[in-house]
Protein backbone atom coordinates (compact mmCIF):
# COMPACT_ATOMS: atom_id res chain seq x y z
CA UNK A 1 0.00 0.00 0.00
CA UNK A 2 1.14 3.53 -0.79
CA UNK A 3 0.55 5.58 2.35
CA UNK A 4 -0.65 9.20 2.08
CA UNK A 5 -0.75 12.02 4.59
CA UNK A 6 -2.83 15.11 3.87
CA UNK A 7 -1.73 18.51 5.18
CA UNK A 8 -4.47 21.06 4.66
CA UNK A 9 -7.90 19.88 3.61
CA UNK A 10 -9.63 22.52 1.56
CA UNK A 11 -11.84 21.62 -1.37
CA UNK A 12 -9.05 20.35 -3.64
CA UNK A 13 -7.32 18.37 -0.91
CA UNK A 14 -10.54 16.71 0.22
CA UNK A 15 -11.45 15.60 -3.29
CA UNK A 16 -7.99 14.24 -4.13
CA UNK A 17 -7.72 12.59 -0.73
CA UNK A 18 -11.11 10.93 -1.11
CA UNK A 19 -10.43 9.67 -4.63
CA UNK A 20 -6.94 8.41 -3.86
CA UNK A 21 -8.21 6.67 -0.71
CA UNK A 22 -10.85 4.90 -2.79
CA UNK A 23 -8.23 3.75 -5.28
CA UNK A 24 -6.81 0.31 -4.67
CA UNK A 25 -3.25 0.40 -3.43
CA UNK A 26 -3.45 3.73 -1.57
CA UNK A 27 -4.05 4.24 2.16
CA UNK A 28 -4.95 7.65 3.59
CA UNK A 29 -3.27 7.80 7.01
CA UNK A 30 -3.31 11.18 8.73
CA UNK A 31 -5.05 14.50 8.07
CA UNK A 32 -3.66 17.74 9.53
CA UNK A 33 -5.43 21.07 9.13
CA UNK A 34 -5.61 24.31 11.08
CA UNK A 35 -7.94 22.75 13.63
CA UNK A 36 -8.85 19.31 14.89
CA UNK A 37 -12.48 20.00 14.01
CA UNK A 38 -11.79 20.80 10.34
CA UNK A 39 -9.48 17.79 10.10
CA UNK A 40 -12.27 15.59 11.43
CA UNK A 41 -14.75 17.07 8.94
CA UNK A 42 -12.31 16.27 6.13
CA UNK A 43 -11.91 12.70 7.39
CA UNK A 44 -15.67 12.27 7.43
CA UNK A 45 -15.99 13.60 3.87
CA UNK A 46 -13.18 11.38 2.57
CA UNK A 47 -14.31 8.32 4.49
CA UNK A 48 -10.75 7.52 5.52
CA UNK A 49 -7.81 8.78 7.53
CA UNK A 50 -7.18 9.96 11.07
CA UNK A 51 -7.49 13.58 12.18
CA UNK A 52 -4.42 14.95 13.97
CA UNK A 53 -3.66 18.38 15.36
CA UNK A 54 0.11 18.72 14.97
CA UNK A 55 2.99 17.71 12.73
CA UNK A 56 4.36 15.68 15.64
CA UNK A 57 1.36 13.35 15.40
CA UNK A 58 1.89 12.56 11.73
CA UNK A 59 3.13 9.07 10.98
CA UNK A 60 5.78 8.65 8.26
CA UNK A 61 4.20 8.16 4.84
CA UNK A 62 5.22 7.46 1.27
CA UNK A 63 3.41 10.54 -0.06
CA UNK A 64 2.50 13.91 1.47
CA UNK A 65 -0.07 16.18 -0.16
CA UNK A 66 0.24 19.84 0.86
CA UNK A 67 -3.29 21.03 0.07
CA UNK A 68 -2.72 24.44 1.65
CA UNK A 69 -3.03 27.98 0.31
CA UNK A 70 -0.18 29.26 -1.83
CA UNK A 71 1.25 31.43 0.95
CA UNK A 72 1.47 28.38 3.23
CA UNK A 73 3.28 26.01 0.88
CA UNK A 74 6.78 27.13 1.89
CA UNK A 75 6.18 27.13 5.66
CA UNK A 76 4.25 23.86 5.49
CA UNK A 77 7.06 22.13 3.63
CA UNK A 78 9.55 23.48 6.18
CA UNK A 79 7.43 22.29 9.09
CA UNK A 80 7.06 18.86 7.52
CA UNK A 81 10.79 18.54 6.91
CA UNK A 82 11.50 19.51 10.51
CA UNK A 83 8.99 17.05 11.97
CA UNK A 84 9.50 13.83 10.03
CA UNK A 85 12.10 11.88 8.05
CA UNK A 86 10.94 12.43 4.46
CA UNK A 87 13.95 11.21 2.48
CA UNK A 88 12.70 9.57 -0.74
CA UNK A 89 9.09 10.39 0.12
CA UNK A 90 6.99 12.23 -2.47
CA UNK A 91 5.80 15.70 -1.42
CA UNK A 92 3.42 17.49 -3.78
CA UNK A 93 1.16 20.52 -3.74
CA UNK A 94 -1.86 21.60 -5.80
CA UNK A 95 -1.01 25.21 -6.63
CA UNK A 96 -1.55 26.37 -10.17
CA UNK A 97 0.65 29.43 -9.68
CA UNK A 98 3.71 28.07 -7.84
CA UNK A 99 6.20 25.47 -9.04
CA UNK A 100 7.13 22.44 -6.98
CA UNK A 101 10.65 23.77 -6.40
CA UNK A 102 9.24 26.28 -3.90
CA UNK A 103 9.27 23.43 -1.35
CA UNK A 104 13.02 23.85 -0.86
CA UNK A 105 13.07 22.59 2.72
CA UNK A 106 11.49 19.30 1.68
CA UNK A 107 14.02 18.87 -1.14
CA UNK A 108 16.87 19.58 1.26
CA UNK A 109 15.50 16.80 3.49
CA UNK A 110 15.67 14.37 0.57
CA UNK A 111 12.06 14.40 -0.61
CA UNK A 112 10.95 14.07 -4.22
CA UNK A 113 8.86 17.07 -5.27
CA UNK A 114 5.91 17.55 -7.62
CA UNK A 115 2.82 19.64 -8.17
CA UNK A 116 -0.59 18.53 -9.42
CA UNK A 117 -3.05 21.27 -10.42
CA UNK A 118 -6.57 20.07 -11.30
CA UNK A 119 -8.07 22.46 -13.85
CA UNK A 120 -11.65 22.90 -12.74
CA UNK A 121 -13.83 24.56 -10.11
CA UNK A 122 -14.08 22.83 -6.74
CA UNK A 123 -16.98 24.85 -5.32
CA UNK A 124 -19.11 21.70 -4.89
CA UNK A 125 -16.71 19.07 -3.55
CA UNK A 126 -19.22 16.22 -3.52
CA UNK A 127 -20.15 16.84 -7.14
CA UNK A 128 -16.50 17.12 -8.24
CA UNK A 129 -15.57 13.90 -6.44
CA UNK A 130 -18.43 12.12 -8.17
CA UNK A 131 -17.62 13.59 -11.59
CA UNK A 132 -13.84 13.86 -11.55
CA UNK A 133 -13.28 11.65 -14.58
CA UNK A 134 -11.79 13.60 -17.49
CA UNK A 135 -10.35 16.39 -15.34
CA UNK A 136 -7.12 17.78 -16.77
CA UNK A 137 -4.28 18.17 -14.25
CA UNK A 138 -1.16 20.21 -14.95
CA UNK A 139 1.77 18.27 -13.50
CA UNK A 140 5.46 19.03 -13.05
CA UNK A 141 8.26 17.97 -10.74
CA UNK A 142 10.85 15.28 -10.19
CA UNK A 143 10.62 12.36 -12.59
CA UNK A 144 10.47 9.78 -9.80
CA UNK A 145 7.64 11.66 -8.07
CA UNK A 146 5.65 11.92 -11.30
CA UNK A 147 6.26 8.23 -12.01
CA UNK A 148 4.33 7.45 -8.84
CA UNK A 149 1.65 10.14 -9.12
CA UNK A 150 0.80 9.91 -12.82
CA UNK A 151 -0.68 6.38 -12.82
CA UNK A 152 -2.53 7.17 -9.58
CA UNK A 153 -4.09 10.24 -11.19
CA UNK A 154 -5.02 8.26 -14.27
CA UNK A 155 -6.64 5.63 -12.07
CA UNK A 156 -8.99 8.24 -10.56
CA UNK A 157 -9.94 9.50 -14.02
CA UNK A 158 -7.61 12.49 -14.35
CA UNK A 159 -5.82 13.46 -17.55
CA UNK A 160 -2.31 14.52 -16.44
CA UNK A 161 -0.62 17.10 -18.70
CA UNK A 162 3.11 17.79 -18.17
CA UNK A 163 3.94 21.50 -18.00
CA UNK A 164 7.15 23.54 -17.89
CA UNK A 165 7.79 24.42 -14.25
CA UNK A 166 9.70 27.55 -15.30
CA UNK A 167 6.52 28.83 -16.98
CA UNK A 168 4.16 27.96 -14.11
CA UNK A 169 2.97 31.53 -13.59
CA UNK A 170 2.26 31.97 -17.31
CA UNK A 171 0.45 28.62 -17.26
CA UNK A 172 -1.75 29.86 -14.44
CA UNK A 173 -2.37 33.13 -16.28
CA UNK A 174 -3.81 31.08 -19.16
CA UNK A 175 -6.76 30.20 -16.95
CA UNK A 176 -7.21 33.88 -16.07
CA UNK A 177 -7.33 34.78 -19.77
CA UNK A 178 -9.70 31.91 -20.56
CA UNK A 179 -12.05 32.65 -17.69
CA UNK A 180 -11.67 35.90 -15.75
CA UNK A 181 -10.64 38.26 -18.55
CA UNK A 182 -13.18 36.72 -20.90
CA UNK A 183 -15.85 37.82 -18.43
CA UNK A 184 -14.34 41.33 -18.34
CA UNK A 185 -14.47 41.65 -22.14
CA UNK A 186 -18.05 40.38 -22.24
CA UNK A 187 -18.99 42.91 -19.58
CA UNK A 188 -17.60 45.65 -21.85
CA UNK A 189 -19.77 44.34 -24.69
CA UNK A 190 -22.90 44.32 -22.53
CA UNK A 191 -22.26 47.84 -21.26
CA UNK A 192 -21.65 49.09 -24.80
CA UNK A 193 -24.97 47.64 -25.95
CA UNK A 194 -26.67 49.37 -23.03
CA UNK A 195 -24.97 52.64 -23.98
CA UNK A 196 -26.79 52.30 -27.31
CA UNK A 197 -30.12 52.14 -25.46
CA UNK A 198 -30.54 48.37 -25.32
CA UNK A 199 -31.86 46.95 -22.02
CA UNK A 200 -29.38 44.78 -20.15
CA UNK A 201 -31.51 41.63 -20.45
CA UNK A 202 -31.77 42.06 -24.21
CA UNK A 203 -28.05 42.89 -24.43
CA UNK A 204 -27.22 39.51 -22.90
CA UNK A 205 -29.44 37.75 -25.43
CA UNK A 206 -27.79 39.63 -28.30
CA UNK A 207 -24.23 38.94 -27.11
CA UNK A 208 -24.76 35.26 -26.31
CA UNK A 209 -24.81 33.83 -29.86
CA UNK A 210 -21.81 35.92 -30.88
CA UNK A 211 -19.80 34.85 -27.85
CA UNK A 212 -20.91 31.21 -27.93
CA UNK A 213 -20.24 30.78 -31.65
CA UNK A 214 -16.86 32.50 -31.40
CA UNK A 215 -15.78 30.24 -28.52
CA UNK A 216 -17.04 27.15 -30.31
CA UNK A 217 -15.05 28.13 -33.40
CA UNK A 218 -11.89 28.72 -31.37
CA UNK A 219 -12.08 25.26 -29.83
CA UNK A 220 -13.03 23.63 -33.14
CA UNK A 221 -10.77 25.51 -35.57
CA UNK A 222 -8.16 27.38 -33.51
CA UNK A 223 -8.01 31.06 -32.60
CA UNK A 224 -6.64 32.41 -35.88
CA UNK A 225 -9.22 30.65 -38.04
CA UNK A 226 -12.03 31.73 -35.71
CA UNK A 227 -11.21 35.45 -35.90
CA UNK A 228 -13.71 37.63 -37.74
CA UNK A 229 -14.66 41.31 -37.72
CA UNK A 230 -13.08 44.54 -38.95
CA UNK A 231 -9.48 43.78 -37.98
CA UNK A 232 -9.63 40.37 -39.66
CA UNK A 233 -10.91 42.18 -42.80
CA UNK A 234 -8.19 44.82 -42.58
CA UNK A 235 -10.74 47.60 -42.03
CA UNK A 236 -8.63 49.67 -39.67
CA UNK A 237 -10.61 52.86 -40.42
CA UNK A 238 -13.64 51.29 -38.76
CA UNK A 239 -11.47 50.17 -35.85
CA UNK A 240 -10.19 53.73 -35.37
CA UNK A 241 -13.71 55.17 -35.40
CA UNK A 242 -14.89 52.56 -32.91
CA UNK A 243 -11.98 53.19 -30.58
CA UNK A 244 -12.62 56.93 -30.61
CA UNK A 245 -16.35 56.49 -30.01
CA UNK A 246 -15.83 54.02 -27.17
CA UNK A 247 -13.24 56.29 -25.54
CA UNK A 248 -15.65 59.23 -25.70
CA UNK A 249 -18.38 57.12 -24.12
CA UNK A 250 -16.19 55.56 -21.39
CA UNK A 251 -12.45 56.21 -21.08
CA UNK A 252 -11.44 52.95 -19.32
CA UNK A 253 -13.39 50.85 -21.82
CA UNK A 254 -11.79 52.83 -24.66
CA UNK A 255 -8.38 51.94 -23.23
CA UNK A 256 -9.40 48.29 -23.06
CA UNK A 257 -10.52 48.41 -26.70
CA UNK A 258 -7.23 50.02 -27.75
CA UNK A 259 -5.15 47.49 -25.82
CA UNK A 260 -6.78 44.66 -27.79
CA UNK A 261 -6.15 46.12 -31.25
CA UNK A 262 -2.47 45.16 -31.61
CA UNK A 263 -2.77 41.51 -30.43
CA UNK A 264 -5.89 41.08 -32.58
CA UNK A 265 -4.00 42.49 -35.59
CA UNK A 266 -1.23 39.95 -34.92
CA UNK A 267 -3.85 37.20 -34.84
CA UNK A 268 -5.28 38.47 -38.14
CA UNK A 269 -1.81 38.24 -39.73
CA UNK A 270 -1.51 34.65 -38.49
CA UNK A 271 -4.87 33.92 -40.08
CA UNK A 272 -3.80 35.47 -43.39
CA UNK A 273 -0.56 33.48 -43.41
CA UNK A 274 -2.10 30.16 -42.45
pLDDT tens figures, 111-162: 999 999 999 989 999 999 999 999 999 999 999 999 999 999 999 999 999 9
What's the rounded Cα separation, in Å, for the pair 246 and 244?
A: 6
What's the rounded Cα separation, in Å, for the pair 204 and 96?
A: 32
Q: Is 197 left (phi over 0), alpha (psi -120 to 50) or beta?
A: left
**216 pLDDT higher than 90:** yes
**Which pLDDT band holds residue 73 (cuts at 50, 70, 90)?**
very high
Distance of CA 58 to the CA centre of its chain: 29
- Dihedral angle over CA of 44, 45, 47, 49, nearest 10: -70
Q: Write out pLDDT tens, residues 166-201.
A: 999 999 999 899 999 999 999 999 999 999 999 999
- Cβ(65)–Cβ(33) under 8 Å? no
- pLDDT at site 26: 97
Q: What is the mean pLDDT of residues 47-59?
A: 97
Q: Write out pLDDT tens, residues 19-41.
A: 999 988 999 999 999 999 999 99
Distances (CA, A) of 121 to 117, 126, 202: 11, 12, 29
Phi/psi at 254 (5° precision)? -65, -35
- Cβ(160)–Cβ(150) under 8 Å? yes
Phi/psi at 6 (5° precision)? -115, 120
Query: 141-167 burial, b for 16+ CB within 10 Å, e for fewer?
Result: bbeebbebbbebbeebebebeebebee
What's the rounded Cα separation, in Å, for the pair 189 and 217?
A: 19
- pLDDT at site 24: 87
pTM of the model: 0.88
According to DSSP, residue 269 is labeled: H
Q: Which domains does the chain have, with CATH numbers?
A: 2-163 (3.40.50.720), 170-273 (1.10.1040.20)
Beta pairing, strands 112-118 & 136-141: antiparallel
Amino acid sequence: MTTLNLIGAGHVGRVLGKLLAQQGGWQLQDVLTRSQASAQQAVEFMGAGRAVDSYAQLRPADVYLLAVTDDQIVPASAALAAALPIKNAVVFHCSGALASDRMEAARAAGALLASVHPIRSFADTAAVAAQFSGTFCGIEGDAAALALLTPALQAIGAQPVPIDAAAKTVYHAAAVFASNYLVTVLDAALRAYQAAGIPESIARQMAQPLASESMANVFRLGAAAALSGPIARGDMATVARQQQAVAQWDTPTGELYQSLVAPTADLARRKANS
